[in-house]
Amino acid sequence: MTSDHFQGRYEVELKYRLHSKSDFLNTLSQIPHEVMHQDNVETDWYFDRPDGSLHAENKSLCIRTVEPSNIQLWIVKGPEPDRCEATNIADFSNALSMLDTMGFEVVLKAQKTRSIYFVEEFHITVDSLEGIGDFAEFAIMTDDESKLPVYRSQLEALAQQFGLTDDALQTKSYKQMFVESRAS
């Protein structure tokens, strides 16, 4: 088990809504896998400029804390759908202060409970979003953009082992889901 799973400029990610988290975990127990962590609480602070220009450019800037694993990340996604970079940060408060100094504002604070598993070179996250539902993300990160279509096919095949089909595929980001749930 290594953090190499999270290295790269691109991320192929397929997200599925789970009808039964327990059935999903039962299937996972039948497949060789490693556990990175289980039932951590992730808190995401999403930032944008006052004019909303990051959102308009299809970019996302997030600072994440993971407890009790004591992980702190700076995450940038977009503008391309598969573009994603993350790096560890040592001082969460200082990172928040730096973003504030540069004129960024918190536009959303959201929490989820997440477990991360490794199946071969892929990582699977099982997420619970209060009031929204349970999800599984099948993903891999890479610096090789030419591998994105191959990885997408391999991830689809892996998801099929769990009985997941295109009907359960989710194209909205968690950020979009949180915003929509708060608007209703």
Determine how many CB atoms are found less than 10 A away from the CB of residue 12: 24
Cα maximum dimension of the chain: 49
Residue 19: count of CB within 10 angstroms of its CB: 12
Q: What is the dihedral of CA 24, 84, 7, 147, to 10 degrees?
A: 80
Residue 174: active-site member: no
Q: Residue 156 to residues 81, 138, 153: CA-CA distances in angstroms? A: 17, 8, 5
46, 117, 151, 174: the catalytic one is: 46
DSSP state of 184: -
The tokens describing 176, both together, are: 């979009």
Question: What are the structure tokens assigned to 53, written together?
Answer: 């220009």
Task: Output DSSP code: residue 166.
Answer: G
CB-based contacts of 133, cutoff 8 Å, min separation 6: 17, 18
Catalytic (active-site) positions: 46
